Homo-oligomer: A and B are copies of this chain.
Amino acid sequence: MQRIAMLGSGFIGRFYADSLQGQRSRDKVISIYSRREESAKKFANQYGCTHWTTKMEEAISRPEVTIVCIALPNNLHEEAVLLCCKHKKAVMTTKPLGRNATEAKRMLDAVEKAGIFNGYLEDLVYTPKFLKSMESVKNGALGRILWAKSRETHPGPHSEWFWDIEQAGGGCILDLGCHCVEITRSFIGKDIKPVEVMCWADTQVKPIDAEDHAIALVKYENGAIGQFEVSWTFRGGMDLRDEVMGTEGTIWSNGFLRTGLEMFTTGKGGDYIAEKAESNTGWLFPVGDEINDLGYNHMFTDMFTALEGGKAPKETFYDGYVVNAILDAAYKSAKTKLWEPVNLEVWRGQTGITRHSHLQEYDADHYLVKEEMTHYGARKVILKNKHSNKISEKIIGDLGAGLPNHGL
């Protein structure tokens, strides 16, 4: 059983507490730190915490606390982590780990030097859909992974600090891209080295200094491509979609806006709507169990099971550091307009990987380009001669029926 000190009583702190203490959980948030006394008290009251404080170290250092959960703005992560190191307390930090890789590296070094348990709270690689997809990717259902894309876009964050580049460290790339990078990196393989990044970013709509829309490609050593699409300017709700393409299959995952629950309401029923809000009428797409569907339950289960078993969780500060390094390259690329290398001072995965061959043997003299059923019922192979490079086609069987295919 875990006794948790929660640092931060905002939106994400509440999401964490709902998950940590939800259902029949044996864990408990016992201390809450918030910068504002009013918020700390309110949180303590709502979640039944025995202790609240506006002094960070006070929460961290309490002897009954077994683990510290950092749910603070990005610019306060490092301070909190260093205090955990000082008091040798297990620590979990919300995403992103740092505002950049330099900050992240300092935190990584600190926790490893202190020898404390460190968890990186990247919930979106713990969603039930992701876990199920990952299982299929691992057992080979998709063959060799060629491309993985993750998209997170919505109309912008709730809290003011996100919009302040000093506190946040960046815009939607840092806020949302960190999720996308870890999702796609997981599909491609966390032991495959990210090599370089090309990123477009712009401030298209919001009167802010940071970017509100960005798209990036991340090239991995084995030739696979990760992609992220992030924005604070999307209209229509929160769009969370992932796609993976392999040589033998594909996965499409929709995490939020299309999950099999659809409601139409005129908004005229009963006392439903106090004020006619745009998003409360017409076709709506509620999510059943947000906390479980967004991965919080499986994430904390992994964290605490690892902690109690003396093991590292699936996501550690090292992962947070790699993500920050990739995002740093994205930011640089958005400025230089060049593919920028991912600078990883520490790399703990495979090295010297070569690209997979794309040559599939058909017979001694030919490679196989494609095999298909024609719509007139024959089996056809398209071949490439190994010596002359000439393309030819060959009809083999004469039964079966194929589907027409577009693009000629």
Contact = CB atoms under 8 A, between A and B. Distances in A.
Contacts of A288: 127-129, 131-132, 293
A249 B274 contact: no
A225 B205 contact: no
Contacts of A273: 400-401
A223 interface: yes
A353 interface: no
B205 A400 contact: no
Nearest to A377: B274
A268 B248 CA distance: 6
Contacts of A332: none
A113 interface: no
Interface string A241-256: 0000111111111111
A40 to B, nearest CB: 17
Contacts of A358: 203-207, 212
Interface string A87-113: 000000010000000000000000000
Contacts of A402: 277, 279
A260 interface: yes
Nearest to A200: B217
Contacts of A382: 156, 160, 163
A287 B175 CA distance: 28
Given A26-B24, A237-B403, A403-B237, A263 B136 contact: yes
Nearest to A164: B391
A264 B235 contact: yes
A260 B255 contact: yes
B293 A264 contact: no
Interface in A262-308: 262-275, 277-290, 292-294, 297-298, 300-301, 304
Contact of A235 (B175, B240, B266, B274): B266
A207 B367 contact: yes
Interface in A208-259: 208-209, 212-213, 215, 217, 219, 223, 225, 227, 231, 233-240, 245-256, 258-259
Interface in A365-408: 367-370, 372-374, 377, 380, 382, 384, 389-393, 397, 399-408
Given A234-B245, A270-B143, A389-B209, A400 B129 contact: no
A350 interface: no
Given A23-B301, A176-B407, A372-B158, A269 B337 contact: no
A140 interface: yes
A400 B215 contact: no
A179 interface: yes
A2 to B, nearest CB: 8
